[in-house]
A and B are shown apart, each in its own frame.
Chain A
Amino acid sequence: MSWIQILTYLCGAIFIVAFATKLLKYATMPMHVRWELYPIPHEGKHKSYGGSFYEEIDHWKNERHKDHLAQYMFMLPEILFIKALYEDNRSLWYWSFPFHMGLYLSIAGLAFLAIGAILQIMGLPSSTALGSLAQSLTILLGVVGYVLGTIGVVGLVIKRMSDPELSEFSAPIDYMNLIWLGAIFVTGFLVWLKDPGFGISRDYLVSIITFSPMKDQLTGMHYLNLLLFLSFFAYFPFTHMTHMVSKYFMWDKVKWDDNPNIGDPGVDAKIKTYLGYPVTWSAAHIGAQGGKKSWADVATENPWAKKE
């Protein structure tokens, strides 16, 4: 097994462990108090102006209906086209959109490269109809993705450097991240020029999937692109670029979490646990006594009540 194969497995393992750890960290945090923000798409089309169940008399007596389709219809243009940025920060969207679309298409291209590799293992190489389709889609999505991604990166770097409102809040690492991604897009494009059918790349993936030696020798450009990609892959979960995590949790679990507390046993159990947590806040009015008191204790005390 070559060093590049070992590195691939290593970077893949780091990505999986680090990303899963991050997801787990947020998923296992306590249920917070409600902090929703309207409009909430699952309230449905008839409340698309931002209305909620609070507009209904005796709302707790009504059966709650969440319009999940409306929520997906909201999420789709948001994920694909970054609709919120289009509406509220158009000048940044002009570059952010091609950048993100470039990423999506490149990842889709990589997925079809993997499908092509699996087909090849199954005895359906690119000379077959199915293998040829996977190859064509790999080339189309990958190359368009590289071009769009590169345009986006160049635009975002220039925008971030030239707009004082952005540059004041940007650090060298922000530029490094963008340039790193840009280098992956550019070298990916150059790989395509050297390897127009991505045949060498596919053989490399076959070797990774089957844990076997590579058939073809990778070119220098393949190595460069792989090194940039693999190192970024391992680095990515440690950065704020994983903002798809915040997008999921902050929207689905915070801004859209309007579930009222109606005595669900699971929710009740959680609240009882939290009320038992020790409090160590130091301000005198809290009266926490350095953790001797719990949330239930401090919340039910009234330090200013007249003593009977």
Chain B
Amino acid sequence: MKPEEISKSAEQLVDLNPAKFATLPPPYENYKESPLVQLSDDQKTRWEHSLDGVSALTLPKPQTPEEEEQLVASFLLGLEKLLTKENNWTFLQPLALSLEYCAKCQTCAEACPVFEASGRQDIYRPTFRADVLRKVAKKYLSPGGKFLAGFRGHDIELTWDLVARLAELAYRCTLCRRCASVCPVGVDNGLINHELRKLFSQELGIAATEIHEKGSVKHLKFGSSTGMTTAAIGDIIEYLEDDIEEKIGRRITIPLNKKGAEILLVHNAGEFMSWPENPMSFAILFDAAGIDYTISTELAGYDGVNYGLWYDDVQFARVAIKHLEIARELGVKKIVIGECGHAHKALSVIADRLLPGEQMIPRESSYTLLWDIVKSGKIKFDPSKNDFPVTLHDPCNIVRLMGIVKPQREILKAITPPGRFREMTPHGVANYCCGGGSGFAIMSSGNFTDWKIKLSGRKKLQQMLGAFQGEMDPEIKKMVCAPCSNCKGQIRDLMQNYEVFEKTGIWYTGLVEMMVNAMVDQDAPFVEWPSDEEDDDM
């Protein structure tokens, strides 16, 4: 399908056929994938879905031709702003280069997990949405753009159909940037997708509800994208202390708002709600290693996420500046980021040039600090306590986009018996996204959940199953170590949908949970398996 066809009038541009989706390894080799959940007739009447029958944005259909025209005009105006230094100094240079220089060689398509998983649907090629934007920019914004537009390859019709489909298409890419890593001329089609989301949010106010209204807005309003208020965090920390006492038989105090502490530890607040054993593990390990740290209960200070990273520079800056302000006020020497991939990249890398140097506070990955703790010998580990097959998921934001590859591997090797840890194929900087990147893990509007499980997460499911081939007996418990909150969310959804634990014995956890599990001082197993709950129920 040519990018120009995105403008064509049709109820739905593409029908997704599950029979064409990439196949899964044993024991799923004969698995019959069910068709994607369809929107109801009522939803179809109200929401734009003409790209692939999926609605991630629940974007309302314009009611009049005038409204359509207005939205199209706003889109074009937004694209123009995206190409000015005043409105987009943050990314103008890489965007302008990426728009100008694609050689259309399609090398990037082979690297894209969504394109591959979908059975090579053209609309999911990294070049497809990027080319649509290139063509619109050339035809409508460059001098003489309409002259010989067909011959020059950018004769595209800018219509509401194009704009609405492009808005949805911006949420079919996880921003993993595998495409950019293989481009022979350096073009970054992932970046173009990022910029497209910004255009929609910053000019038209269009973004996924879960990452804007329920995400960055809640973060700035209540203190956390989970909705957890500043008043509630103290109670939650107390519950964690109770749970720790119950688990390890002694009480640990988690320091709050401790002025002058060495470290401000920031978690993804989703951990407190969905995987409390993760912040508990940090508390146990930091206590045992004698780390001088604190957790903040200030607005936004106890939630390290920054959803603006995926769709809006202004929202991004507002949250990042809050994080830095809180650290400065506490007088800490560094911020350590818990097991959250996008929080790592947001605060360490992207926020690095938001403020002049004197206003910055050093930021460090928890992986690095944890590896330092292991090397120091302050905590004694018994690898035999993790005597099960283990593989490691590489969160894109931490590995390919920050270059933190070795510490987590060294830790796993130190806390598992020889031969138990095995890599996925491929791994490290060539890894595949969990499928929940760029906000997908928390997005569930319309029928998007089904799409992200069956398509964006498919490659990761293949990889997880692939890592344990030959040991697929469900009686052999196997672990995927996924040291990132959003990745865990996506992996949890994948495992539930495909009943992975029941059929294969594969489960998932974070890195710190496995570390606590291996502590010599820890009597009872810390890592929990779904079958443990069943045993408890009996």
B-binding residues in A (CB < 8 A): 26, 29-40, 43, 47, 49-60, 82, 84-85, 87-89, 92, 96, 165-166, 168-174, 240, 242-243, 245-247, 249-251, 253-255, 258, 260-264, 267-268, 271-272, 274, 277-286, 295, 298-305
The B interface, classified by DSSP as helix, strand, loop or mixed, is helix
B185 touches A246 (CB 8 A): yes
A165 touches B87 (CB 8 A): no
Within 8 Å of chain A (Cβ to Cβ): is B348?
yes
B92 contacts across to A, CB distance below 8 A:
29-30, 32
B519 contacts across to A, CB distance below 8 A:
none
Contact residue among A52, A173, A268, A301 (Cβ-Cβ distance under 8 Å from B403): A52
A283 touches B151 (CB 8 A): no
B190-215 to A contact mask, C-beta < 8 Å, 1/0: 01000000000111110000001000
* B315 CB → nearest A CB, Å: 7
B153 touches A38 (CB 8 A): no
A173 touches B153 (CB 8 A): yes
Interface size for B (C-beta < 8 A) is 96
Contact residue among B85, B97, B201, B357 (Cβ-Cβ distance under 8 Å from A254): B97
Within 8 Å of chain A (Cβ to Cβ): is B475?
no
Given A171-B153, A304-B220, A274–B399 Cβ distance below 8 Å? no
A165 contacts across to B, CB distance below 8 A:
106, 109
* A96 CB → nearest B CB, Å: 8
Contact residue among A51, A246, A261 (Cβ-Cβ distance under 8 Å from B405): A51
Within 8 Å of chain A (Cβ to Cβ): is B372?
yes
Q: Could you give 21 example pairs across A and B, Cβ below 8 Å?
A: A29-B92, A32-B93, A33-B351, A37-B180, A37-B181, A50-B405, A89-B182, A171-B151, A171-B154, A250-B187, A254-B94, A261-B356, A261-B357, A279-B86, A280-B81, A280-B86, A281-B314, A283-B204, A285-B212, A299-B354, A304-B221
B364 touches A59 (CB 8 A): yes
A267 contacts across to B, CB distance below 8 A:
353, 356-357
B321 contacts across to A, CB distance below 8 A:
299-300
A49 contacts across to B, CB distance below 8 A:
405-406, 428-429
B352 touches A33 (CB 8 A): yes
A249 touches B429 (CB 8 A): no
Complex CA gap A240/B350 in Å reads 29
A246 touches B101 (CB 8 A): yes
A249-B93, A250-B187, A280-B81 known; 14 new pairs, CB 8 Å cut-off, are A35-B188, A35-B191, A57-B364, A57-B368, A59-B368, A169-B131, A170-B104, A246-B101, A250-B186, A253-B93, A254-B188, A263-B357, A295-B89, A295-B317
Q: Could you say which of A55, A249, A271 has the most chain B C-beta atoms within 10 Å of its C-beta?
A: A55
B403 touches A54 (CB 8 A): yes
Within 8 Å of chain A (Cβ to Cβ): is B90?
yes
B357 contacts across to A, CB distance below 8 A:
261-264, 267-268
A58 touches B362 (CB 8 A): yes
B72-103 to A contact mask, C-beta < 8 Å, 1/0: 00100110010001110111111011101111
B110 touches A169 (CB 8 A): no
A36 contacts across to B, CB distance below 8 A:
349, 401, 403
